[in-house]
Structure 1
Amino acid sequence: MARYLPIIIVALLMIYCVVEVAQAPPYAVRKMPRWLWATVVICVPLFGALSWLFFGRPNRETLNPTKHEPPRAPDDDVDFLRGL
């Protein structure tokens, strides 16, 4: 049973990463498109899964792309509304 444990761990990691790739927002995935990440994770299980976790997974900056943009309308600007 112990000799099958690494295979089971790699299979579970691959399944976890495939589900995470499928649920990630397309605009937030880094380095490659989602379909290519899914292909890499499935075809090269251990390397692909670890690559997804370290290089492709969305982070805080990619999940909030509008955080650094200026407000679009004057009523969205808090300083403008304070001056009224």
Structure 2
Amino acid sequence: MALIITDDCINCDVCEPECPNNAISQGEEIYVIDPDLCTECVGHYDEPQCQQVCPVDCIPLDPAHVESKDELMDKYKIITGEA
């Protein structure tokens, strides 16, 4: 699954630089995650780094973008050019 940032986001700016895939960007009101680039840090780290640094715990799994670990790894390989 990709991750999503909820309306609880306080725009603290700590998640964006932690994303190894550049999937996080400033939206109109809060930060947003591009599901096409989010791999939950699979291929980079054992856990999603944005979730680790978020002070308000507002980055859950996105039920609208369900993906297995294998699918996330395939996406990682495409994004990084290893495919």
Query: Same fold per TM (> 0.5)?
Result: no
TM (normalized to structure 1)? Answer: 0.30
Higher helix share: 1
| Larger-gyration structure (1/2) | 1
